[in-house]
Amino acid sequence: MIYAFPQYFTSKSRFLTYHLVASVLRKAGHTITDDVDHCDAVLVSMCDVMDYPQLVKLRRMTKRPIIVGGHYAFNYWSAKLYSDFVWIGEIWDFAKCKTLDEIGESKHCYTGMAKQLFASQYIDWASIPVGQIAPKKCYYLGGVGCKNACRFCFTSWTHRHQTNTQQRIEQARQLCRRKKMHLMVVSNEYDAGERGGKTLDILLTDYVKRPVKASMVRMGIEFAQEDTRKRMGKAIPGELLCHAIQKANADNLALRLFHIAGYEPVSAWDTYMDNFAKIFSQYPNNRIVHFMFNNLQYQNYTPLYDERKQINPEYYIDITKTRQWYDTLRQQSRSVLVGAPSPFQHVAARMGIELSEAREQVDFWLTKINNAAKKMTVPDAYKSLFDTGVMDCKKRRLKKSTGEIMVGERNG
Ligand code: SF4
């Protein structure tokens, strides 16, 4: 087959995905071109909802069939609105198909016809290339999915947890060392080892227990209250927050802490930040502690999606709140940052596109996605979520053992 894959030729970001897709397709005998008019089909790899405008643009550019893949393809009902085929899951089964008919008939492909869908989960780990993305930097796929299953996490509920072998990862490391390149191993796994490196992603519960070599440690605390964290699958006892700051001081490293606002009352976050102000007053930090915030997006497949209709805009925060917290923390520490999340209106637009099952729904939300806060008030955005009908998008559940996608509200 001749596939046009314009992202592979033009994009400077997410090169790993495009490189991997192109490499697997070429190995299977297909040809990759950037000519969207002279090909059997045009491929679009969508990572998330922000790639949707690119899909719309391509739809206008070419009359050739468009095939969407990538992480976003799990939202196949939405991706199909501007494409002809949506391939759900990994690339290797796709590469085996020799014709468009074969692709369309596959149980991994959504064409708009009712059929039982299965995510393609087969990964030929031995065929993963070491992708060079910069003069001195390479990427290598170490795993997909996650052994945790946090209730809000789209990745972990759409992928069976699979990992590359340690032997192959080590070989990739050696290869890069010989070429004097830095290797990033991409996975959701938390590397709690002592290999060292500049930035380390690790569970806070692991970090407080063991020595690490890093200049920055990134950890998801996610929610303000201990019982919420526990319910969501990130059980971090409150006292460990203080331990983590003490240990970061002793290790002389910076921390980046990730949080999800929008689920708990803002007063719970005020208490959370006051607690950190107290910790900093007792254990002054020299290196930066960076508090990062996202506002919650209810995503299909996740258990949290069942609660989408209880979405409460009053729980969502914006830069006014993060500035206030910054001022509170700054009274105790000079080395803090507090990052503001996208506002409620933007989250609503993201949800709107992702949950759209009809052209008029997605077209409405596409007009709102950029500068959403300038185009909608918070009450308007909230009302539109219900008025456009996107909140009625049926729950999907992935059976991780087989890839089967089940449709229905019951949580499995
Ligand atoms: S949020 Fe992080 S730890 Fe939780 S399931 Fe997702 S990737 Fe794993």
- Nearest atom of ligand 1 to the alpha carbon of 233: 4
Whether residues 321 and 265 share a domain: the answer is yes
Whether residues 80 and 172 share a domain: the answer is no
Whether residues 98 and 184 share a domain: the answer is no
- Nearest atom of ligand 1 to the alpha carbon of 203: 3
Residue 118 lies in a domain: no
Ligand 1 center to residue 223 CA distance, Å? Answer: 13
Where does a domain end: 308, 341, 374?
A: 341
Residue 248 lies in a domain: yes
| CATH code, domain with 150 | 3.20.20.70
Residue 358 lies in a domain: no
Question: Which of 71, 151, 156 gets mutated to test ligand 1 (max ligand atoms within 8 A of its CB)?
Answer: 156
Whether residues 150 and 269 share a domain: the answer is yes
Average pLDDT over residues 217-222: 95
pLDDT in tens, 159-191: 999 999 999 999 999 999 999 988 888 876 655
Whether residues 200 and 101 share a domain: the answer is no
pLDDT in tens, 147-167: 889 999 999 999 999 999 999
pLDDT value at 392 more than 60: yes
| Range of weakest confidence among 2-6, 53-57, 138-142 | 138-142
Whether residues 104 and 182 share a domain: the answer is no
- Nearest atom of ligand 1 to the alpha carbon of 156: 5
Where does a domain end: 53, 81, 110?
A: 110
More reliable by pLDDT, 214 or 250? 250
Residue 351 lies in a domain: no
Residue 331 lies in a domain: yes
Whether residues 106 and 200 share a domain: the answer is no
Average pLDDT over residues 346-366: 98
Residue 363 lies in a domain: no
Whether residues 159 and 287 share a domain: the answer is yes
| CATH code, domain with 16 | 3.40.50
Average pLDDT over the chain reads 94
Average pLDDT over residues 21-36: 96
Residue 117 lies in a domain: no
- Burial (Cβ within 10 Å: 0-12, 13-18, ≥19) of residue 368: buried
| Residue having the nearest C-alpha atom to atom 4 of ligand 1 | 150
Where does a domain end: 323, 341, 359?
A: 341
Q: How many domains does the chain have?
A: 2
Residue 388 lies in a domain: no
pLDDT band for position 192 (cuts 50, 70, 90): very low
Whether residues 280 and 165 share a domain: the answer is yes
| Residue having the nearest C-alpha atom to atom 3 of ligand 1 | 148
Whether residues 59 and 187 share a domain: the answer is no
Whether residues 62 and 149 share a domain: the answer is no
Q: In terms of residue numbers, what domain contains 138?
A: 131-341
Whether residues 137 and 60 share a domain: the answer is no
Q: What is the pLDDT of residue 193?
A: 45
